[in-house]
Structure 1
Amino acid sequence: MLLSLVWEKYNLDKKIEGYSPLTLKTYYFQYNQLLCHFGNVDMNVITTNQLKSYLLKMGSHLKPSSLGHRIRCIRSLFKWTYDEGFIQKNPAAKLKEPKLGKRIPKFLTEIEIELLREGCQNTMEKALFEFFYSTGCRIGEVVKINREDINFHTNSVIVHGKGDKEREVYFNTRCSIWLKRYLDERGDLEPCLFITERRPKRRMSIDLIRYIIKRISRNAGLKKEIHPHQLRHSYATHMINNGAPLEVIQSLMGHEKSETTKLYAQLSGKLRYDFYTKYF
């Protein structure tokens, strides 16, 4: 079966399975790279060696993590094609991801958090910043939140995480105050929690949120580039520093594996120092 026809069927199947539009967008990019390299060929003619040569040529400039993502996308597409009976052999079955070094998440100090607070120029920026920092949400989760999802009685919100899994997260009093002020000032009927500054008012995109966080960091005078995921890292690190159990942080952040959360414990110099002084 031709590569383009396989993609149409694969894409439809994954939509039915509940894959997010963002995930399908990244998979489409990888499919398009395959199409540009191999052409619209019958997938039965693609061999393991050809895929390896493709990865060597097209992935030479990629970081190991990005190359690993490309390989996972290719394996997923070819496995599905093989399982559906459209190809006789799966040439991607033996493709292995590159080994990754242990990556320590970058977090912000409490002083940097305060500087960012001072860098917020209006109510929207204050509400957006406080929401990211006090909930630890992913940017893809924040863009999907609607006003009606917010419960101001419990200072909580149900978010849809990876794999469309729901979890309840909480925000603090400071965030609650700025969120209420922001929503009161808006005067629109848009259901989304965060909307664009310019008309027509619509839901903020991921790119716009990234831009606003960078704008806040510039106004704060910070020399390093700040992105929303650093606020998530900072949320977890500061909770660990304050003594929160790892299993609680894992639940709040929506980590499937405890190993992901344990990275923050390794990162926390204060936690290590506290244990050192306690036991030595």
Structure 2
Amino acid sequence: MDDDFQLHSPSVDYLDGLRAADCSVNTERNYAGRLALYLSYAVAHGIDWTTPTLQNLATYLRWLVDEPLPPRGLRPDAEPKHRRPATANAHLGTVCEFLRWSSLRGLVPGSVLRILARPKYLAYLPDGFDPGEDGQNRTIGARAIKFSVAVPGFEWLTYEHVDQLLAVAPHARDRFLLVLLRDTGIRIGEALGLRREDMHLLPNSTTVGCTVGGPHIHIIRRSANANGALAKSRRPRWIPVDPDTAGAYADYQYERDEVPTAAGSDMVFVNLFASPLGEPMKYPSTYELFVRLAQRAGLDAHPHMVRHGTITRWIRDGMPRDTAQDFAGHASAYSMKPYVHITGREMREHAQRVNEIQKARNATWRWRKR
């Protein structure tokens, strides 16, 4: 907004476009914050947001990591926090996409687009990338300004880690959420979007018109959820669950029945201990709940780390990758790659096996040489 509290029309239109394209509500929220920060920075530094120079954008990228983050419930003497270079890259990436979108509508001159990207030749192709018959697709437009960052290692929670969280969870609802995330590998947004009609936890669900055998849940993308929760995958899917999940859900139902205002909500996860009672739980408060439980358990964790652990366990236990991909709701096999982790112990065991094989080969070579 400007000083007269007028909305910035181009960015509002851009966000409306994200919503029309069925992007996740979390994506829209993140992009809104990034655009607001860029527009505020431009005003404060006397920059026309439609015509930034290469130097303007480079300075903004540096400012993103140098400027301390606003405190959020921290003590006045607490050490200030800063954005990481990877986070700054994500911020500037959103700004670049917004500038490209604005250029298509005649709001940003073409000269700005030319400074946003530079040609890059792909010597090594990602899995599934089509280089073209003559390799014409190998040259792509790469970001002209960004920090060089190492490829991050994906953090994940093991089954034992989730047990630690369950041990400190005071409420049946919270324990059911943890068990559900652990056993199904669904995203936290998908869990918050569940309706009671999606919970088919009986051995046979034919009475409700479902032909899937055994206890399971359905993940369906709905845009009308009151809490804004939206499944990332557009394709409906079902995931089998075990009796532990059904038992945790039954315990939660007893707890939920003690809050009369929760009876009218069809959403699975509702507020039981803070206002507005009975209303669907929203992502920010659920995320904070998870982080609080993790701190009690002595862990530095967030909800998505449970999903990483679940998919890793599926693969280790011998589940075919295409089945795991289907349960996870991934559109491509390439999306599965970051979700399969290896522990330090497993790396050591693999290295020992390789050394033993090499020793055996050396012994055979020496024997033949004799």
- The reply to whether TM is greater than 0.5 is yes
Q: C-alpha deviations, 1:134-184, integer Å up to 9, x for none?
A: 111222222222212222244122144326554433332211221133235
Question: Take 1:104 and 1:42, find their aligned partners in 2: how far apart are those partners?
Answer: 38
Partner of 1:157: helix, strand, or coil?
strand
Q: How far off its partner does 1:78 sit?
A: 0.8
Question: Take 2:325 and 2:351, find their aligned partners in 1: how far apart are those partners?
Answer: 21
| Matched letter for residue 112 of structure 2 | P
Once the two structures are overlaid, the 10-residue window that deviates more, 231-240 or 209-218, is 209-218
Partner of 1:107: helix, strand, or coil?
coil
Identical columns (%): 19
Contact persistence 1:143–1:206 (CA under 8 A): yes
- CA shift in 2, pair 1:164/1:10, >3 Å: same
Structure 1: gaps spanning 5 or more residues:
none
| Matched letter for residue 219 of structure 2 | I
Question: Take 1:165 and 1:151, find their aligned partners in 2: how far apart are those partners?
Answer: 18
- CA shift in 2, pair 1:41/1:196, >3 Å: same
Partner of 2:266: helix, strand, or coil?
coil
Higher RCO structure (Cα 8 Å, ≥6 apart): 1
Paired position in structure 2 for 1:171: 241
TM-score of the pair, normalised by structure 1: 0.83
Paired position in structure 2 for 1:147: 196
Tell me if 1:79 matches 2:83: no
Once the two structures are overlaid, the 10-residue window that deviates more, 199-208 or 22-31, is 199-208
Once the two structures are overlaid, the 10-residue window that deviates more, 46-55 or 56-65, is 56-65
Partner of 2:106: helix, strand, or coil?
coil
| Structure showing the higher helix proportion among its residues | 1
| Matched letter for residue 210 of structure 1 | Y
| Matched letter for residue 64 of structure 2 | M
Q: How far off its partner does 1:29 sit?
A: 0.9
Paired position in structure 1 for 2:53: 47
Question: Take 1:81 and 1:180, find their aligned partners in 2: how far apart are those partners?
Answer: 51
Question: Take 1:149 and 1:224, find their aligned partners in 2: how far apart are those partners?
Answer: 31
| Matched letter for residue 254 of structure 1 | G
TM-score of the pair, normalised by structure 2: 0.65
RMSD: 3.1
| Partner of residue 253 from structure 1, selected from 309, 318, 328 | 328
Paired position in structure 1 for 2:33: 29
- CA shift in 2, pair 1:135/1:51, >3 Å: same
Tell me if 1:101 matches 2:162: no
- CA shift in 2, pair 1:85/1:169, >3 Å: farther
Contact persistence 2:311–2:339 (CA under 8 A): yes
Q: How far off its partner does 1:51 sit?
A: 1.7
Q: How far off its partner does 1:247 sit?
A: 3.0
Question: Take 1:266 and 1:186, find their aligned partners in 2: how far apart are those partners?
Answer: 36
Q: How far off its partner does 1:42 sit?
A: 5.2
Contact persistence 1:158–1:168 (CA under 8 A): yes
| Matched letter for residue 22 of structure 1 | N
| Partner of residue 186 from structure 2, selected from 128, 133, 137 | 137
Q: How many residues align?
A: 277
Once the two structures are overlaid, the 10-residue window that deviates more, 162-171 or 81-90, is 162-171
Paired position in structure 2 for 1:225: 300
| Partner of residue 65 from structure 1, selected from 71, 86, 90 | 86
For residues 174-193 of structure 1, what are the structure 2 equivalents within 5 Å?
174-187=244-257, 188-193=263-268
Partner of 2:314: helix, strand, or coil?
helix
- CA shift in 2, pair 1:201/1:244, >3 Å: same
Question: Take 1:194 and 1:63, find their aligned partners in 2: how far apart are those partners?
Answer: 33
Structure 2: gaps spanning 5 or more residues:
67-81, 118-142, 206-214, 222-230, 258-262, 358-370
Partner of 1:249: helix, strand, or coil?
helix
Paired position in structure 2 for 1:119: 168
Partner of 1:67: helix, strand, or coil?
helix
Q: How far off its partner does 1:194 sit?
A: 0.7
Paired position in structure 2 for 1:197: 272
| Matched letter for residue 266 of structure 2 | P
Contact persistence 2:192–2:283 (CA under 8 A): yes
| Matched letter for residue 93 of structure 2 | R
Q: C-alpha deviations, 1:8-50, integer Å up to 9, x for none?
A: 3222322222233322221111111122111297544322332
| Matched letter for residue 337 of structure 2 | K
Paired position in structure 2 for 1:38: 42
